[in-house]
Amino acid sequence: MSEKSIIKGVVFDMDGLMFDTEHLTMDGWDYAAKELEFSIPKDIQLQVIGLAEKYTKRVFEEYFGEDFNFYETKRLRINYVTSYIEKNGIPIKKGLIELLDYLKANGYMIAVATSTNKERANFYFDKAGISGYLDAVVCGDMIENSKPEPDIYLKAGELIGIPPQECLALEDSPIGILSAYRAGMKPVMIPDLVQADHDTNRLLYAKLETLLDVIVLLSSKENS
Q: What are 53-112's pLDDT values in tens digits?
A: 888 999 999 999 999 999 999 999 999 999 999 999 999 999 999 999 999 999 999 999
Nearest 5°: phi and psi at 191?
Answer: -60, 145
Calculate what percentage of the chain has a pLDDT beyond 70: 96
Q: Which of 224, 223, 180 is nearest to 205 (CA)?
A: 180
What mean pLDDT comes out for the span 177-188? 98
Give the pairing type, strands 109-114 and 9-12.
parallel
pLDDT of residue 50: 82
Asked if pLDDT for residue 176 goes beyond 90, the answer is: yes
The CA distance from 68 to 166, in Å, is 43
3-state secondary structure of 167: strand
Residue 22 near residue 14, CB atoms below 8 Å: no
**Which residue from 163, 158, 47 is spatially nearest to 113, judged by alpha carbons?**
158
pTM for the structure as a whole: 0.91
pLDDT band at 224 (very low <50, low <70, confident <90, very high): low
The CB-based long-range contact list for 154-163 (8 Å cut-off, 24+ gap) reads 154/183, 155/113, 156/11, 156/111, 156/112, 156/113, 157/9, 157/11, 157/111, 157/183, 157/185, 159/111, 159/135, 160/9, 160/11, 160/109, 160/110, 160/111, 160/135, 160/136, 161/109, 162/8, 162/9, 162/109
Q: In sequence order, which ranges of the chain are alpha helices (DSSP H)?
A: 3-6, 22-35, 42-47, 53-64, 70-88, 96-105, 118-128, 151-160, 174-183, 198-201, 212-222
Give the whole-angstrom CA distance, residue 168 versus residue 185: 6
CA nearest neighbour of 169 among 1, 4, 18? 18
Position 53, amino acid: E
Contact 13, 113 (CB under 8 A): yes
Contacts of 44 (CB under 8 A, 6+ apart): 59, 60, 63
Q: How far apart are CA 11 and CA 13, in angstroms?
A: 7
Lowest mean pLDDT among 177-181, 192-196, 211-215: 192-196
**For the chain, what is the mean pLDDT?**
94
